[in-house]
Amino acid sequence: MPVVTIDGGPLDVEKKRELCCAMTDALGAAYGHPKSAYIILIRENARDNVAVGGELLCDR
C-alpha cells in the first residue's frame, strides 16, 4: 500500500480534495492498484515555519 506525504503551504479543503483525487489517479496509473490502496498525508506548513537559504518564507 503506497503512502504519499505532501508537505506544503495551507490549502482550502476543496483544493485538498482536488489534489488527493489527482494524486490517486496518478498513483493508480503508475502502480495499478485499486484507489483504496493509496494513502495520502497532507502536512500544512505556515510560511513562518519554512526557511529557504536561511530566510523564512514569510520574510520574502
Q: Taking the model in full, what pTM does it have?
A: 0.84
> What was the pLDDT predicted at 58?
96
CATH 3.30.429.10 for the 3-59 domain, yes or no: yes
Instruction: Give the mean pLDDT of 12-33.
Output: 98
Domain ranges, ordered by start, for the chain: 3-59
Three-state secondary structure string covering the chain: CCEEEEEECCCCHHHHHHHHHHHHHHHHHHHCCCHHHCEEEEEECCHHHCEECCEEHHHC
36-59 pLDDT, tens digit per residue, is 999 999 999 999 999 999 999 999
Q: What per-residue confidence (pLDDT) applies to 1?
A: 87
Percentage, residues of the chain above pLDDT 90: 98
- Give CA–CA dist 9/49, Å, rounded: 10
Q: Name 49's Cβ contacts closer than 8 Å, sequence gap at least 6.
A: none
Grid cell of 55 as nine digits:
530566510
